[in-house]
Structure 1
Amino acid sequence: MPLHVPPAPAPALRSVLTALSSPTAVREARTPSLRAAQGPVSPDVPLPVHELDHAATEPAPATGAATKLIGWRFLIRCGERAVAAAETMLTPDGWAFSHFCEGPYIASAERALRHAEAMPQSYQPRLLSVPELYMLTLWLHGDRGTDAASGPLAPTDILVPLAPAPPGITAHRPHRAADLLPVLTHRLTPAPLLGSPA
């Protein structure tokens, strides 16, 4: 079934278009793949980027784990393939361009999105970041009509870790949030200190 890709805020899209059309308009340099792109480039597949509030996952609540929106990421296409991504962030003045990036997460996100398109159920795609684990997942939110900027990570939502995934977590293997959150919570919980000398 097709994914229900949420529309990005207009100022976020405008900031990316400005950064692409006028390299001098932003301080952030273009990535090597953007500089080497043969032909026009354009933003595609806007995905809201949420960060997991791991303090709210202990224990993982039955109603879902708390997240916060930290930005929007656009895949940047040249022809049929994504060559980079552009990130935007929320500032006191509204949405603004943050930076361009490239690397393994770009191809991994494209692959995960293709697999999600082939799933029998339709989802709203998002990205979920777990910065403490250097982990990014494709978050397939079951409530397609909800505002992409809000809503908890529901236990029945699907998380697809993108490559490279942390050790012990298989990239591109879909997990129900209720199954993966305890693993993440365990890794995010500091180990107890051993008894101190008397």
Structure 2
Amino acid sequence: MPLHVSQAPAPAQHSVLAALGSPALRAAGTPALRSFPGPLSAELPLPVHVLGVTAPTAAPAGAPATRLAGWRFLIRGGEVTLAAADTLRTAGGWTFSHFFEGPYLASTERALRQADASGSPWQPRLLSIPDLYMLTLWLHGDPAADPAEGAPDPADVLIPLAPAPPGIAAHRPHRVADLLPRLTVRLVPPPLLGSTA
């Protein structure tokens, strides 16, 4: 398998497993989890990085900056993905955040299959662009890299997940060097009228 799925921090995984066995599961807003009669598992942990734009004083204007925001686990019942679980880093370490359902689940699985079929050795990550309401599967070219570190390399690949923002085709792989400049332009606010910028 060309994909090299990273090992999530043990406290992040433990927090999800604890949530799966807690009464909070039955209170979650995820009908598929509440109604599934069998055992559930947390699989395919993916680090979730958030893309923003650095301040002009910190880096060249419009330069991308990423930070690790959490880990996402696909929650499976047998062979079926029912939901996902997110964890967050807090002052006390990794903690369970919430369960959720929705279109990103099937889209994530489809993008992972696309990446696997490519035959290239990728480290899969998720790259969230909150200002554009966009999530991508980020295929990092160094499978041995620390999944918590680094910014998208120009040769890395991004696969936008559905639903994608207007003008961006979901499930069409793009090199970072091709897609990121288009996204960064959307993230940088236009100069104010009358300014010298």
d(CA) in 1 for partners of 2:23, 2:116:
34
Q: Which amino acid aligns with 2:139?
A: L
Q: Paired residue for 2:172?
A: 173
Matched, 1:184 2:183: yes
Question: How far apart are 1:89 and its partner, in Å?
Answer: 0.2
State the TM-score, normalized to the length of structure 1: 0.90
Q: Which amino acid aligns with 2:35?
A: A
Q: Paired residue for 2:109?
A: 110
1:131-170 equivalences under 5 Å are 131-170=130-169
* Preserved contact between residue 58 and residue 185 of structure 1 (Cα < 8 Å): no
Question: How far apart are 1:42 and its partner, in Å?
Answer: 0.7
Q: Structure 1 57/176 Cα, relative in aligned 2: closer, same or farther at 3 Å?
A: farther
Query: How many percent of aligned residue pairs carry the same amino acid?
Result: 65
Q: Structure 1 185/19 Cα, relative in aligned 2: closer, same or farther at 3 Å?
A: same
Q: How many residues align?
A: 191
Q: Paired residue for 1:17?
A: 17
Superimposed CA distance per residue, residues 143-190 of structure 1 (whole angstroms, 9 cap, x where no aligned partner):
110100001210000000000000000000000001011110111121
Q: Structure 1 57/175 Cα, relative in aligned 2: closer, same or farther at 3 Å?
A: farther
Superimposed CA distance per residue, residues 13-58 of structure 1 (whole angstroms, 9 cap, x where no aligned partner):
000000001124x897251111122321110000000011322684
d(CA) in 1 for partners of 2:88, 2:146:
17
d(CA) in 1 for partners of 2:143, 2:35:
37
d(CA) in 1 for partners of 2:60, 2:86:
26
* Preserved contact between residue 71 and residue 88 of structure 1 (Cα < 8 Å): yes
Matched, 1:85 2:73: no
Q: Which amino acid aligns with 1:88?
A: T
d(CA) in 1 for partners of 2:119, 2:94:
34
Q: Structure 1 8/115 Cα, relative in aligned 2: closer, same or farther at 3 Å?
A: same
d(CA) in 2 for partners of 1:28, 1:179:
43
d(CA) in 2 for partners of 1:57, 1:161:
25
Matched, 1:45 2:22: no
Question: How far apart are 1:122 and its partner, in Å?
Answer: 0.9
* Preserved contact between residue 46 and residue 72 of structure 1 (Cα < 8 Å): yes
Superimposed CA distance per residue, residues 63-92 of structure 1 (whole angstroms, 9 cap, x where no aligned partner):
xx4311000000001121211000000010
d(CA) in 2 for partners of 1:77, 1:184:
32
* Preserved contact between residue 57 and residue 66 of structure 1 (Cα < 8 Å): no
Q: Which amino acid aligns with 1:12?
A: A
* Preserved contact between residue 26 and residue 34 of structure 2 (Cα < 8 Å): no
- 5+ unaligned residues in a row in structure 2: which ranges? none
- 5+ unaligned residues in a row in structure 1: which ranges? none
